[in-house]
Amino acid sequence: MAISFLLYLALYYEAFHVHLTLAYAHLGYATAQHSIGQRYLQGNAVTKCEDTAMKWFRKAAERGHPHSSYNLAVGKLKEMATDVEDGELEGLLSRAAEHGLKEAQDILDHLYKKPDDS
C-alpha cells in the first residue's frame, strides 16, 4: 500500500498538491486560498482562469492575506473580473503595504500623487 502511494506521488505530485491545497483552501486557510489563486492566475496545474483566481484572492484577502490583497487590487487595476469596488482599492493596497509589500506602496504613491509633484 505504501509503495502504491509513493508511486502515485511520484507520478501525480502536482495533481496531488493541487487537491491537497484546495482542501485546505476550502477549510479557510488563507495561505492555501492564495496559493490556489496563484495557480489559477498562472494556469499552473489547473486551467488558467482569472475570474476563479480573483475569487480565491478575495477569500484570502478577507482573511488578511497581504499578497492576496495586493493581487486583488492589481486585478482591479488591470480590469480583470473582480468584485472590488472603487473605494475598496486603497484599503487593499494599504493592507498589503502595511505588511511590507513595496509594490503596493508604489502603486498607492502613484495613484495619489498630486499633479504638481515631481
Structure confidence at residue 87 (pLDDT): 85
pLDDT in tens, 6-29: 777 666 777 888 999 999 999 999
Give the pTM. 0.83
**Taking the mean position of all CA atoms in its chain, how far away is CA 56?**
6
2 falls in which pLDDT band (50, 70, 90)?
confident
pLDDT in tens, 40-94: 999 999 999 999 999 999 999 999 999 999 999 999 999 987 788 878 999 999 9
Pairwise pLDDT comparison (12 vs 103), residue with the higher score:
103
Q: How far apart are CA 105 and CA 94, in angstroms?
A: 7
Q: Which three cell numbers stand for residue 23?
A: 482542501
- CATH for 2-111? 1.25.40.10
What radius of gyration do the chain's Cα atoms show?
17
Alpha helix ranges (H) inside 63-100: 66-77, 89-98
Mean pLDDT, to the nearest integer, of 98-118? 84
Handedness of CA 86, 33, 56, 34 (dihedral sign): positive
